Structure 1
Amino acid sequence: MSAQAPPESRWRQVRRWLPLILLVGLSVAVLVSGAAHLLSLDRLLASRAWLKAFVGEGYGRAMVVAFLVYLGAVIVSVPATLFLTMVCGFLFGIVPGALLAVCAATTGGSLVFSIGRGPGRDLLQRFGGPRLDRFAASFRRDAFGYIATFRVLPLFPFWVTNLAPAACGVRLRTFVAATFLGLLPGALVYATTGAGIEDVVAAHETARAACLAEGGTGCDDAIALSALVTPKMVAGLGSLGVFGLVTLILSRRMRRRV
């Protein structure tokens, strides 16, 4: 038997690995370029009026753009999904914003999952050994529960929880369902927090305008502490507290299972 793989077999391997290599290269390029820093709370607050005007000019178009931005961030593994979920809540409201974020994250995660499924299995078969084979089989048996839990608990980077199930041979429909349902609670929490930002900023602008009209000084600090305690912000903070408690309980259960 020839030591060299036939040209057709080598080309099949190249086609199998090329999408993942390109994806990793694009992700590294985005992180090195510093483009991820464009997604920050300061930029959101500075661009608040423009973003709201953009949404007002075309709600559907704005949702499509937001979906594509979120999708791109997930595909290239930009660590800004929580911030983008808050932006979705800020721009579109709690429920529409959360659903948009979850749909975009699920779609992006599924694309990465599909790209990494072939190479991931190759690596597992070549370097895994019996122990990792047993782990992969165990993971497949309880794949829905594991994936959903890892979506609720931010124990690993998002790209890891996209590629690891692919390497273990999890079915795509199981991955999609568990990802969607696992991301939904957290998305509602962060979208609620994002929706409260508008009230805080509006209160700050009102207080600043009143201060300037009276000829006062230090108007940038004119907002009272009580103005920060808006109903949406209270709901968001309360939800974050409950969410943190739930994740703590789940984390302890996961450690016991492991």
Structure 2
Amino acid sequence: MSVAESDQPLRIVVLGERTGGRLVPGELPEPDRRFHRALRYLRSAAWVIRDPQTFGPDALDPAAASSVPRGYRTDGDWIWPVALEYYLEHHGVAPPAELLELMAERGYYAPRAHADRCGQAHQALLPHMPGPFEPPAPMQFRLPPDVYDLLVTVGWQPGRDESARVEEWAAGQGIELDAARRQILSEFGGLTFPVYGYGRDWRVMAFHLLPNGPLGDVAGPLLPIGSVPQWKSQIVLDPRRGIATVGEVERYLGRDIDEALTSLIRGQAVG
């Protein structure tokens, strides 16, 4: 079973919302046969945001180290924070009754949410403020929050350094990397970005950054750094102007890699 894009609104779990703003431990204890089945369902659903570097405090065990993970999953009907999985596993805090009923109807196996539906879930989370029992997004000023979230979901993190891999790849291709391209690929190289929702000015497409994807062949001063397969286009760095796509679809993406990633992830033209 799978769930594709839909006009059906997604419901978002807010921990404590149905219990007067508090968590109730022991609602679904481990001896209950639904405990492991519900946990399996929650953990098998598709990621919407996965932030493996960010944790928050355990509201039911204040003395414990920060251990509540940040992230969100979806089954195509509901979105829940992975904090729900944590509080169920460690304290027996139950999911909402309606979600538990849906799990039972599906035999406690989450359907596969298609990329477009995950994109709709990502859009639904944009105006959502984290509940009091969810870790907030880390404080950072470099990237828009939605762009940061997708980057960490696909494997980037602040301080990421893939320079050794990139240099090995470049040597194998007989390429001499200039400083600007080396800097971009050392931080973002090798990432693949999924089709993830609806763009503001064009429909978002999957894209790859080298060494992932084809190297391509571009002329003049343009330096390839990635590709957008469905556009049959290369992502290139122009040392004088910035970053753009060339090929069947040609778009200016921004002055630097941060602007370019924002444009591609949001499907948004540079103003």
The answer to whether TM tops 0.5 is: no
Whose helix proportion is higher, 1 or 2? 1
Whose strand proportion is higher, 1 or 2? 2
Q: Which has the higher contact order (CA 8 A, sep 6+)?
A: 1
Q: TM (normalized to structure 1)? A: 0.29
Q: TM (normalized to structure 2)? A: 0.28
